[in-house]
Chains A and B, each alone.
Chain A
Amino acid sequence: MADMTSFIDEVAATPGGEHIRSCIQCGICSGACPAANEMEYPPRKIIAMIRAGMRDEVLSSSSMWHCLSCYMCTVRCPRGVKPTDIAHTLEYLAYQQGFKVKGTTTPVMYQNFVNSIKGNGRVHEVGIMLRYYLTTNPLAALKVLPVGLSLFFHKRLPLLPKGVKGREDLAKIIQKFKEIEARS
């Protein structure tokens, strides 16, 4: 599909990406973004790049992985473009298409998060943190150890995941959905 459709069509076909063509490049999104300074390409620029068909540059960048999902750009956009949703779409396309991202470990954290949901039915924070630090930088874990310990001693970090009955149902539903997606 990727070869047959233009990049902007691909983005516009995803939930939340529908209004990308309405962008007038005013830049309010970049001005509203608390993470714009950390981004290789701030929101306005990345929308321009999508429209210019710069698929590889966009999907291999770390920009969208800095989105905090604060939705400030979305409420300020005068054209209803929903840049937050577009950031999520770009993360999704980059991840599904196997783009390697440099300069951020956010995808690794998200991956551990999703695995935790699939494995336990609910999020288990200790498991996510441990796996994240082991796969990225075990030394960095030392710096946040006091945070983890204070949460633990204030009874806010259960060591074991809660067994949820719905876990198996969830797995079955996801499995079936994957079959449906492969078929269409």
Chain B
Amino acid sequence: MKHYCYFPGCSAEATAIGLGLSAQAIAKPLDIELIELEDWTCCGSTPYGSLDKLESILVAARNLALAEKTGLDMVTPCPSCFVTFYQANLYLKEHPQLMAQVNEALAVANLVYNGNVHVRDLMEVLFNDVTPEVIASRVQRGLNGLKVAPYYGCQMVRPDYGFDDPEFPQSLDRMVESLGAEAVPFPLKNHCCGGALVISEQSLAVDLMRKLLDNAVENGAECIVAPCPLCQMNLDAYQSIVSVYSKFKTDYNLPILFVTQLIGLALGIDPKSLGLNTNIVSPGRLLDHISKAGAKRGT
């Protein structure tokens, strides 16, 4: 059993509750323990850095200082939290004066950060520490060739962390296939969904989402899996709005799952423990497909 300091991120408690539930649900069967960082606060995320770049690094550093005390690698399931912490670590290393100021401020809460936390994306941990081979060996209910479009989005692979290729990523494809599903070709798999700008620049985001959904459907996908809270929410909750602009002139009705939810299904975990009841486009068809596989094997 390998232990990690776990930073869920704000979304995993609310709009991405399905991510929070499924990440914890699959940990034990995969022999990892995600120990939630006590008393964590928001990582700061992109908006904070856009309004106050230096202060946003401080906000990230509070969590890094708390995590450093645990002596464990800090894992987050949210690519946005990951990129925020990754960048904060980088900036603090490159700007020693800023590091000194941050520590002077942290001292009022009896905290200190030495820059030693190894921040990791949950997908990278599943791929490198757990490995697709071990995931495959734990599968209880193979996914029966379900056609899945693996959607990496942006911040899981960019900027370049050295984990997966920023232009032609493969890690999710391999994890999906380790579950007995088929990863369909998905040329737009690392293109942007519009992110938080779905609120302030809706038409821009809707156009990006339309391209993604059209691209997944024309490659035969029966569902999309995404690691990112914002990608999943956009493609799931805004799908009915985007459908109006589809080149197929039809409702996509395409379930959007978190990668961790799909892994959980293959591990035989019940859908409710994976938060599948919180998915807006019903994953019902997909569950039927998988249970048919189970029935076939049973007979």
Contact = CB atoms under 8 A, between A and B. Distances in A.
Given A15-B53, A96-B52, A151-B15, A109 B47 contact: yes
A88 B50 contact: yes
B248 interface: no
Interface in A154-173: 154-158, 162, 164-167, 169-170, 172-173
A44 interface: no
B57 A114 contact: no
Contacts of B11: 123
Given A121-B41, A122-B41, A154-B279, A104 B15 contact: no
A69 B280 contact: no
Contact of B51 (A70, A110, A174): A110
Given A74-B159, A166-B39, A109 B195 contact: no
Contacts of A104: 200-201
Contact of A18 (B15, B94, B109): B94
**Overall SS of chain B's interface:** helix
A173 B58 contact: yes
Interface string A70-89: 11101100000010110011
A71 B98 CA distance: 24
Contacts of A181: 54, 101
Contacts of B197: 35, 66, 68, 106
Contacts of B204: 35, 38, 66
A180 B277 contact: no
A117 B48 contact: yes
A92 interface: yes
B131 interface: no
Size bracket of the A interface: 35 or more
B43 to A, nearest CB: 9
A129 B57 CA distance: 24
Contacts of A18: 94
Contacts of A151: 15, 233, 237, 280
Contact of B15 (A16, A71, A125): A125
Interface string B31-70: 0000000011110111111111111011100100000000
Interface hub of B39, B54, B167, B197 (most chain A Cβ within 10 A): B197
A156 B53 contact: no
Interface in B160-192: 160, 166-167, 191-192
A157 B14 contact: yes
A16 B278 contact: no
Contacts of A162: 13
A176 interface: yes
A95 B50 contact: yes
B280 A14 contact: no
A164 B104 CA distance: 23
Contact of B44 (A72, A117, A150, A154): A117
Nearest to B278: A154
B5 to A, nearest CB: 15
Contacts of B202: 144
B13 A34 contact: no
Interface in B182-234: 191-192, 194-197, 199-202, 204, 208, 233
Contact of A16 (B16, B45, B87): B87
A101 B73 CA distance: 41
Contacts of A158: 13-14
B160 to A, nearest CB: 5
A172 B53 CA distance: 18
A6 interface: no
B58 A113 contact: no
Contacts of A89: 53
Contacts of A132: 199-200
B138 interface: no
Contact of A169 (B53, B62, B98, B104): B62
Contacts of B49: 88, 92
Nearest to B88: A15
Interface hub of A18, A70, A167 (most chain B Cβ within 10 A): A70
5 contacts: A15-B87, A85-B87, A92-B51, A110-B50, A157-B14
